[in-house]
Amino acid sequence: MAKLIDGRAIAERVYAELRDEIASLKSRGATPGLAVVLVGDDPASRAYVRAKDKMCRELGLHSVKLELPATTTQEELLARVNALNRDEKIDGILVQSPPPPQIDEAAIVRALDPRKDVDGFHPLNVAKLTLDDDSGFVPCTPLGCLRLLRETGTVLSAANVVVLGRSMIVGKPMALLLMRKGIDATVTVIHSRTRNIPEICRRADVIVAAIGRPHFVRTEFVREGATVIDVGINRMEDAGNERGYKLVGDVDFDGVSKVAGAITPVPGGVGPMTIAMLMSNTIKACRQNSTSPGTVLKN
């Protein structure tokens, strides 16, 4: 049986470090502040936004939660983003994705002050990730996956890592991080047009699954002893559950956990780490915005 990678326990370790940093920032008169913006009432997005706001409060950060109606126009949302850009109490801004269809998400992301873009979605931060410039922000989910791999002692240098999915939120930044100098993985990115997916996956020392398809990665995709990181959070109907659904990952956990060396559960794997990295990015933004320009800080 695979070793279970406990995202909640590892996130607690991150929080222990962050609490020291928060105390030190507060002693210098700086309280990190995060604004989380939700447009519309998608239940999953609402749950994520609530969890982010709650964690800010637990850590003693300044938290602003903006819940805007599904009918919000592009102009209204831009005006909100601009106001948050100017707000000195706010170090980080996150606009929950996906927004309703009338919103041009790319334009909203470009309107963010890149120094407050704790999601790492702004073109300047994407460029900084590709250029190995540590002054930028790296998207929270890939950052969380990397931390899970490091904390579990997974060797990444020269390892074959297969990333399933090429999204701007997970797949692409994950691949960029893993191929960085100093991390040195050999990365293959798989997407909907890729041929021979099971065969490619079977060559992997590490699999990161982020394609949003429930139970896509099955036992026959996984080499014995491989490490499997499951980013998927899919709602599956489950009449036996009081909510009427259960959360399942992109990996068939029951089968794959019999062959993998280590595996993340869903929930309780990547999810808690994404929030921990959002907090870490917010604290980084606060440190960076309260030190002299040009100072480069790591997470």
**181 annotated active-site:** no
Q: DSSP string spanning the chain?
A: -PEE--HHHHHHHHHHHHHHHHHHHHHTT---EEEEEEES--HHHHHHHHHHHHHHHHHT-EEEEEEE-TT--HHHHHHHHHHHHH-TT--EEEE-SSPPTTS-HHHHHHHS-GGG-TT--SHHHHHHHHTT-TTS---HHHHHHHHHHHHTT---TT-EEEEE---TTTHHHHHHHHTSTTT--EEEEE-TT-S-HHHHHHT-SEEEE-S--TT-B-GGG--TT-EEEE---EEEE-TTSTTSEEEE-SB-HHHHTTT-SEE--SSSSHHHHHHHHHHHHHHHHHHHHTS-TT-----
**102 annotated active-site:** no
Binding flag, residue 97, ligand GUN (CB under 6 A):
yes
Instruction: CB nearer to ligand GUN: give 111 or 169.
Output: 169
Instruction: CB nearer to ligand GUN: give 95 or 162.
Output: 95
Residue choice 63, 72, 96, 288 for contact with ligand GUN (CB under 6 A): 96
Q: Pick out residues in 130-149 that bind ligand GUN (CB under 6 A).
A: 140-141
Size of the site for ligand GUN (CB under 6 A): 8
Binding flag, residue 109, ligand GUN (CB under 6 A):
no
Residue choice 39, 94, 176, 276 for contact with ligand GUN (CB under 6 A): 94
Least distance from ligand GUN to the Cβ atom of residue 213, Å: 16
Least distance from ligand GUN to the Cβ atom of residue 106, Å: 13
**96 annotated active-site:** yes
Instruction: CB nearer to ligand GUN: give 32 or 232.
Output: 232
Binding flag, residue 37, ligand GUN (CB under 6 A):
no
Instruction: CB nearer to ligand GUN: give 140 or 204.
Output: 140
Interface with ligand GUN by CB under 6 A: which residues? 94-97, 119, 140-141, 169
